[in-house]
Each structure stands twice: as C-alpha cells, then as structure tokens.
Amino acid sequence: MTTLLTRTENSNEGLKGYFVELADFTNWADNRAIDWLTQITDEQWTQASISSFGSIRDTAVHIVSAKKIWIDFWTDVQDPAYLSSEFKGTREDLIDIWKTISAELRSFIENYPLENYANEINVKKPNGEMSKMVFRKTFPHMINHSTYHRGQLVTQLRQSGFSSLSNTDLFTYYST
C-alpha cells in the first residue's frame, strides 16, 4: 500500500515543513480549546458525561497527557510517565502544562533533524507494553489523536451547556 509517508520518504525536507505546519495547527486548535476551558464553571469541568473519558476534565487531561508523552518518547526520556495516571492538579495547572507542552512541541518539530525521521521511536503503551514506530509515522498519529479528542471535548462542552465554541478544523486553520 502506497501512502503519503512512503511517497515522501525521500523528501523529508518537505515533510518537515508540513510537520511544522501541523504542529502550529494543533497548537492553534489547542489554544482554542484552552480558551473554552477558561470559560466554563467548575461544575461543567467535572460534570459526568458519556464519552471515551467521563468528564471534560478527564478528556482535557488525556489530550495533554498524550501530547506530553509523545514528546517524551521522541526525546527518549527515561521512564516516561503518562500525566493522565498521576495528574491531581487544578484546571489552571493543566492549562499551564498544556501551554508549556505546546511550546515544546513546536520547538521540537522545528529542530528535529531530518535524518532522524526514519528512526524508530520506543513507545511505552499505557498498559506497560513496549512497542516501536518510525518517527515520521508517530507525529501524524499524535496530531490525529489530538484532533479526535478535541472533537469529543466539543461534544462534552455542548452537553454541559457551553456553546461559545469555534471551529478547530484544519481547513479553518489554513483559511484564517
């Protein structure tokens, strides 16, 4: 099966530019989500909902945790830990972490050497199982994963009565 990633193996420079764009996109969309979270009540933040995660809080923690863990995998952090398994902080604490991680993502992608795009990344799954995946495949996965869960966040926010939402899709990002 031929994929975009296979076709672009020999043009990592173009792929790097696209990855920088995707990092900027996901940070832009995350900033919109952060803005929503600053407007909701504590009750909405923790209100039970039916989704992959049981509340807006839990979904936001998962989004931030995943973004952080991928950076940890890419930078070969010794014994990376999922934030979602240990986070006990406030909404404001999570937003601060999210903003820091977003800046780290942009810097990492911008500075990651092209020659490393084919390198295998060690991945520790939440169940402790170890796996490997080539970097150039992990990055689009992280972007897609974040987009998926931001969509769930939108649904949970609507269910909680919050309606001051704005579009976060890639087309909107490119057309603004």
149 is in an annotated binding site: yes
| CA distances (Å), origin 56, targets 25, 124, 130, 134, 162 | 22, 25, 29, 32, 11
Distance CA 76, CA 135 (A): 12
Single out the residue of 27, 91, 24 nearest to residue 56, CA to CA: 91
- 121: phi then psi, degrees, rounded to nearest 5: -105, 135
| Beta-bridge partner residues of 134 | 120
141 is in an annotated binding site: no
145 is in an annotated binding site: yes
Distance CA 155, CA 164 (A): 12
Distance CA 161, CA 144 (A): 26
| Beta-bridge partner residues of 130 | 124
Distance CA 47, CA 158 (A): 12
- Residue ranges of the annotated binding site are 62, 145, 149
- Residue ranges of the annotated binding site for a divalent metal cation are 62, 145, 149
